[in-house]
Amino acid sequence: MASNIGKYEDARKSFDWNIAKKELGWKEGEPLNIGALCSDRICDLGDAEKTALIWEGFGDKHKSYSFADLRAYSNGFAKLLEEQGIKPGDRVCIFMDKIPSLYFSFLGILKMGGVAQPLFSAFGDESLHVRLDSAGARAILTTKKHVRKVRKILADLPALEKVIVVDGDGSKLKDDELFFDVEAAPRVDSYDCYPSTPETPSVLHYTSGTTGQPKGAQHVHSSGWGQYLTTKWVLDLKKDDIYWCTAGPGWVTGTSYGIIGPWSLGVTQCVLDVGFGAAMGYKFIQDNKISIWYSAPTAIRSLMRQGTDTVNEFDLSTLRHLASVGEPLNAEAVVWSEKAYGLPFHDTFWQTETGSMMIANYPGMTIKPGSMGKPFPGIEATVLDLKTHEPLTEPGKVGLIAFRPGWPSMFREYRSKPEIYRSKFVGEMKDKEVSKLHLAKDLWYVSGDRASIDKDGYYWFVGRDDDVINTGGHLVGHFEIESALIEHEAVAEAAAIGKPDAVNMEVVKAFVTLNPGYEATGDLELKIMNFIRKRLSPLAMPQEIEFSEKLPKTRSGKILRRYLKALEWGEDVGDLSTLEDD
């Protein structure tokens, strides 16, 4: 079967983003709404009765929904929000497990012109608070299981007017909370979508950096073009495929490729809303006849550990294409998957900020295990010299991965942080308006990662260019962890780094100096752990706290996390001349 992309080189040569616009039936000047693209349009094309979502939850619960259901239930949420006084442009947070209403409400928010802010349901109240506050969210859609976290912080969120609980029976809610069960409410088969334009804000995703609180990367409706075409060409989704994206919509993979990409193509997708184990995942593939699987290196490494015997207990013969994202995919994992499933995992590289895949291994292309592949057709990529920021021309030299602005799914700002947004670009910045940077063809958007390009044009990931920790595909900023640690009375200073881990690639390790009068004991470590557990998301929790007499610093007093990390990884500690004197 020929792949959607055909020959990579040919696709690259003749590329034009108008391909996506044309295939999606969009003409200049017409409205563009992702909510409509993913449901109304598919129904109008004659696939109203086709299955859109196959969902499996705790206790062996199974449900399935057609594109007509997707249309009606997303309309239901759009209408509700409108009736509740939510206006186009308002941020509406979705805070729930991967239940069907998450998917319906996401499209519903977009349909009424709102900005969808999906958040990972395991966030503790502090992680939730920071993000809701920054977004200035006016409404939150949640479930009876998670509403208690919202209650704890509501008084500190003046903009948050509506708390809507979407499951249960509406009992035990507070007076100011609203109950709305979309499947029990009258079905809304038609709804006039907000006439958003390609530049209307759509999805707001928070991502971690090295300084300050998480940053809100704001996307716009034109992202749909990029997500549509990359899903079609990189994941190779075709009409009859059954697709599974393991990521939840609290993360960008779960919206770009767990909602928008597949549904804009009218493809059936599966959601497994329970913890992930090898046997469970394989059974899910077997039962649902999944053909395309988009996963992450951490999951793949844990499957490797379970071995091929587990694989052989299941019928996985429907699988035809596998892809991965989030962290470096080890060469061993690619080789193993070829042995275990008869198919290699295809690595893809992108970010919350890029909104869609930037560098990838394409169906039919020769894979070099361990390489991220080549830039998507239509994406101009390079690696820049670490100091001069000039594109490197010599194969194999390590530089900063950078992209020429202008692709449709690129983020348009970090919410309320124009200077940080500006700092992501290099080139002639003078006289450039911050609102036009995403179009500036003479600048480079710098990703914050290092890589080299080989003589055949393949990209090889080297590492992050900053101190952000990537644990199991989730970015965690050291600032968040250190801030939580130093709130404890015993802690004087703290430094958080990633330490090597066989499955998660990195886990968080914290170094701590103590205030006078405190002793470094196991008991104290436990107390500090319990203290920060309430403040941090489970992903950001240190696996280990090491007490030190002092932390290594630069002469100007900055903690040298790079040094601590190099020691931890057994690497050369490099140039120590910037270390402060004793």
Residues forming the site for ligand WT7 (CB under 6 A):
207, 252-253, 325-329, 347-352, 372, 447-449, 461, 464, 470, 475
Q: How far is the CB of 166 from ligand WT7 (least distance, A)?
A: 26
Nearest residue (beta carbon) to ligand WT7: 352
- Which one, 204 or 325, has the nearer CB to ligand WT7? 325
- Which one, 477 or 542, has the nearer CB to ligand WT7? 477
Q: How far is the CB of 333 from ligand WT7 (least distance, A)?
A: 11
> Residue 446's beta-bridge partner residues?
402
Q: How far is the CB of 343 from ligand WT7 (least distance, A)?
A: 17
Q: How far is the CB of 485 from ligand WT7 (least distance, A)?
A: 22
Concatenated DSSP letters of 112-149: TT-EEEEE-TT--HHHHHHHHHHHT-SEEEE-TTTHHH
**Chain-centroid distance, C-alpha 147:** 23
**Euclidean distance between CA atoms 541 and 394, whole angstroms:** 41
- Which one, 196 or 409, has the nearer CB to ligand WT7? 409
- Which one, 53 or 247, has the nearer CB to ligand WT7? 247
Q: How far is the CB of 451 from ligand WT7 (least distance, A)?
A: 8
What tokens does 133 get? 């506050």
- Which one, 198 or 472, has the nearer CB to ligand WT7? 472
Concatenated DSSP letters of 154-223: GGG-TT--EEEE-STTSTT--TTEEE--TTTSPP----------TTSEEEEEEE--SSSS-EEEEEETTH
Q: How far is the CB of 463 from ligand WT7 (least distance, A)?
A: 8
- Which one, 268 or 352, has the nearer CB to ligand WT7? 352
- Which one, 255 or 288, has the nearer CB to ligand WT7? 255
Q: How far is the CB of 326 from ligand WT7 (least distance, A)?
A: 4
CA-CA distances (angstroms) from residue 347 to 89, 276, 297, 298, 328? 35, 20, 9, 13, 8
**Does residue 431 contact residue 483 with C-beta atoms inside 8 Å?**
no
- Which one, 39 or 207, has the nearer CB to ligand WT7? 207
- Which one, 372 or 496, has the nearer CB to ligand WT7? 372
**Euclidean distance between CA atoms 77 and 79, whole angstroms:** 5
Cβ neighbours of residue 556 closer than 8 Å, sequence gap 6 or more:
none
**Euclidean distance between CA atoms 509 and 565, whole angstroms:** 9
CA end-to-end span of the chain = 67
Q: Look up residue 511 and give its amino acid.
A: F
Q: How far is the CB of 355 from ligand WT7 (least distance, A)?
A: 9
DSSP3 helix / strand / coil % (the chain, rounded to 5): 30, 25, 45
Q: How far is the CB of 205 from ligand WT7 (least distance, A)?
A: 8
Q: How far is the CB of 412 from ligand WT7 (least distance, A)?
A: 16
- Which one, 361 or 513, has the nearer CB to ligand WT7? 361
Q: How far is the CB of 509 from ligand WT7 (least distance, A)?
A: 19
Q: Look up residue 218 and give its amino acid.
A: Q
What 121-124 contacts at long range (C-beta under 8 Å, 24+ apart), as own/partner pairs, is 121/95, 121/96, 121/97, 121/146, 121/248, 121/250, 122/537, 122/538, 122/539, 123/95, 123/149, 123/250, 123/537, 124/149, 124/533, 124/534, 124/535, 124/536, 124/537
- Which one, 94 or 325, has the nearer CB to ligand WT7? 325
**Does residue 282 contact residue 310 with C-beta atoms inside 8 Å?**
yes
Q: How far is the CB of 473 from ligand WT7 (least distance, A)?
A: 6
- Which one, 33 or 352, has the nearer CB to ligand WT7? 352
**Euclidean distance between CA atoms 362 and 4, whole angstroms:** 10
**Does residue 193 contact residue 35 with C-beta atoms inside 8 Å?**
yes
**Euclidean distance between CA atoms 140 and 532, whole angstroms:** 25
φ, ψ at 497 (rounded to 5°): -135, 170
